[in-house]
A and B are shown apart, each in its own frame.
Chain A
Amino acid sequence: MKLRTVIMASAATVAMAGSALAEDLTIVSWGGAYSASQDNAYHQPFMADHPDVTIINDESSNEAVAKLRAMDETGNVTWDLVDVEGPDSQRLCDEGLAMEIDLNEWTKAAPDGTPAVEDFGDAVINDCFIPQIVFSTTFGYRTDVAEWNGEEPTELCDIFDTETFPGKRALEKRPKKNLEWALICDGVAKEDLYDVLSTPEGVEQALAKLDTIKDDVIWWSAGAETPQLLADGEIVMGSTYNGRLFSVIAEQNQPVKMLWDWQVFDYDGWIVPAGLPEEDLDLVKEYISFATDTQRLADQAKYISYGPARASSQPLVGDHAELGIPMGPHMPTNPDNMGNYLVNNILWWADHQDDVEQRFQAWLAQ
């Protein structure tokens, strides 16, 4: 009798745990300062509104494409919502791994009644993408390098100038952006960039340029690495996302400055993995509608210097939540920061990434 009670009780507990699990929302993002800004602006307020929901943060966004493919292959998708860059969303959408959604149905209109699709404007890059922010990838450098004799880099191509600016650099362990920068510094004009890159010779030209600094490069794969290496003094300059650099400079007061020259703009947003069960989908939908409304998107900019993807959010961007400094000048879209810039060619990368990646990885290993 007693044993039976125990079994019944534990079965009941398991069943309850099961129903509680249904309210878990697994959100995949990039970690570090970026996940923290999402936690402050979206997750905490959402959980306050929905006490029965627990949001689980998974920091796997830089492997999202691979992991979603693997999950799809094994038929066990464990993620509810994934934060990805524009080109990755394009790939996932093409491959049927991301769900196609109607943006006007999933997200709220702007406060003045402008439909969401118009409010998001250019940020709506494909049928699966729910835009969140505009960010850029750019360079940060240390201001206290003795060997530089008081000089400071002023333009992108100083990255390749190891005479004037000796020391280690950090670059991302992916071809994207590195190849564009290399070509620009090898004299290719902005409008010819992707035509040149579309040929094998163009890729070789870019790699040859990167060869000139290969011995001085430390390769990163997570956005938080460059700020850490800069703070440690392990590198003298390195590429990363502008929000990460902001956090090192403004929040941690490290002797680091930013180089906005040829920053590369990109969109980042949500995709919903295809094939989510119906009951999970409702919760995801509710979360999306909540997290992408005009006010929330503007709120995220209080914690990190990324521009909200909605036009209606931009006037609401105010001061940093803790430091109280205005965030406007630190946004990649601030006119002062937009002398030279590139917009990531999402379609080109979606089409060519497999090819170029293969060649780049071989080059890296040699």
Chain B
Amino acid sequence: MAQEQILTQEGKPLKQALRRALRREKMRSILLIAPLLAFVLVAFIAPIADMLFRSVENGIVADTLPETVVALQDWDPSTGELPDEAAYVALYDDLTVAVEKKIHTRLGSRLNYEQSGMSSLFRKAGRTVRSIEPGSPDMKQQLIDSDAAWGNLDTWALLKRYSGRYTPGYFLNAVDAEMNADGIEMKPDNERIYLYLFVRTLMLSLIITFSCLVLGYPISYLLAHLPLRKANLLMVLVLLPFWTSLLVRTSAWKVLLQQQGVINDLLVWAGIVDNTHRLVMINNATGTIIAMTHILLPFMILPLYSVMKTISPTYVRAARSLGATSWTSFWRVYFPQSVPGIGAGAVLVFILSIGYYITPELVGGTSGIFISNRIAYHISSSLNWGLAAALGTLLLVVVLFMFVLYDRIVGIDNVKLG
């Protein structure tokens, strides 16, 4: 039985007309958000993607030593034999060009991330390669004479290992591992830092989140239950530091916490602490925890407050009228209703603190710095952008993982920002 088609007034099938109207609607909304979408893509997604791509990109060996890479294709380091004369001639030719263009030191710095000594090898090569006659016989011996490292199998094995366009090297470095002749291994103990820093970052962030909660909950409760006029006044006290520059607040903590600082002076004056045993509260993890708890506290208080504001007092009153003690009525009636606020605050504070950088840098000394400080160091000082990108990617993965975990435990639907 053929279904009778429903037609619109103009005589078109209703389904089709409806689809067209919906499509027009959709197009309109896409056009409306198009500027923002384009902006986000161009200014946010693309740079991040480009930066993350650097964590595996490794064109520099092939670009700087193109002939050598070709010459090494058939060579197998596991034979224990050095590459043949042709490879040395190719290396000499490549180096001559690279030195001319002054890019050989960059390759040295790049390979130095994988094996120490490479940077100085290439820098020296820049100076010695000019002293070797082009086209002279026995290039192998001449190069080895200029630096014994060219007669070392490891040097060549390294060149071969990193001659590909892509590399897992940065990611291995980011988890304190390295790729060597025997495969992938953990680095020696005294060179491991990143896993340790990741764990420290997570631990300190958890502690900071917890201290924010402990300090923020009573304040939010107070704010939500005071008469509006008083609550507003208190709210200003919460918001004022929130609006104050991060640097100013961090510097203020320096003044307060240092050994000759205000807090220590007060403690000594009150006789609590001996003058010669002033507390060390800054340039270590303690400093980071204190300063960051203060700086992130508003991010805990504001969502908590807005959730608590919506909790109707009648429930607690009902519980009390049915005979509950004030503790029971709080714990069994009020607290569960405030959990979405705790969730929102905790997620905000935790994710913000895990990526924090300025405050730990200024007050953290060496024991209170985060993984982001190392990322910043590699971006702006050591210029190892590949490693910075790998560390950044791992940090992103950790945050996403925490987010999923959180969703499983608390449920992201339970998070309320107001």
Contact = CB atoms under 8 A, between A and B. Distances in A.
A158 interface: no
Interface string A180-220: 00000000000000000000100000000000000000110
Contacts of B190: 362-363, 366
Interface string B84-125: 000000000000000001110110110011001101100110
A50 interface: no
Contacts of A232: 258, 260
A315 B102 CA distance: 40
A157 to B, nearest CB: 23
Interface string A79-97: 0000000000001001110
B191 A94 contact: no
A12 to B, nearest CB: 30
A358 B112 contact: yes
B383 interface: yes
A361 interface: yes
Contacts of B258: 232, 234
A70 interface: yes
A95 B102 contact: yes
Interface string A119-131: 0000000000000
Given A359-B191, A362-B190, A365-B197, A94 B123 contact: yes
Interface in B366-405: 366, 369, 374, 377, 380-383
- Determine the interface band of chain A, counting residues with CB < 8 A from chain B: 20 to 34
A23 B101 CA distance: 31
A351 interface: yes
A366 B189 CA distance: 10
Contact of B365 (A69, A200, A219, A351): A219
A63 B102 contact: no
B109 A66 contact: no
Contacts of B374: 365
Contact of B369 (A69, A96, A352, A365): A365
Interface in A307-366: 350-355, 357-359, 361-366
Nearest to B259: A234
Contacts of A351: 119-120, 123-124
Contacts of B101: 96
Given A233-B260, A365-B369, A350 B380 contact: no
Given A95-B106, A232-B260, A362-B190, A352 B382 contact: no
A147 interface: yes
A91 B276 CA distance: 45
A128 to B, nearest CB: 11
- Determine the interface band of chain B, counting residues with CB < 8 A from chain A: 35 or more
B124 to A, nearest CB: 7
Given A351-B119, A358-B116, A219 B105 contact: no
A225 to B, nearest CB: 11
Contacts of A365: 193, 196-197, 366, 369, 374
A168 interface: yes
Q: Identify which of B102, B123, B276 gathers the most chain A CB atoms within 10 Å of its CB.
A: B123
A355 B112 contact: yes
Contacts of A354: 108-109, 112, 116, 119-120
Given A95-B105, A232-B260, A352-B120, A70 B196 contact: no
Nearest to B193: A365
B261 to A, nearest CB: 8
Contacts of B123: 94, 350-351
A351 B123 CA distance: 6
Contacts of B68: none
B366 A63 contact: no
Interface string B348-371: 000000000000000001100100
A234 B256 CA distance: 12
Contacts of B341: none
Nearest to B120: A351
Interface string A234-259: 10000000000000000000000000
Nearest to A68: B383
Nearest to B109: A354
B119 A94 contact: no
B329 interface: no
Contacts of B197: 365
Given A218-B365, A351-B124, A366-B193, A96 B102 contact: yes
Contacts of A96: 101-103
Contact of A147 (B113, B117, B276): B276
B119 A364 contact: no
A279 to B, nearest CB: 24
Nearest to A348: B120
12 contacts: A63-B380, A66-B380, A91-B105, A96-B101, A218-B283, A234-B259, A352-B119, A352-B120, A355-B112, A357-B382, A359-B191, A365-B196
Q: Which 7 A/B pairs are nearest by Cβ-Cβ distance?
A: A96-B102, A354-B119, A351-B120, A233-B260, A355-B116, A365-B193, A354-B112
Given A67-B380, A354-B119, A358-B116, 5 more contacts: A70-B383, A350-B123, A354-B112, A365-B197, A365-B366
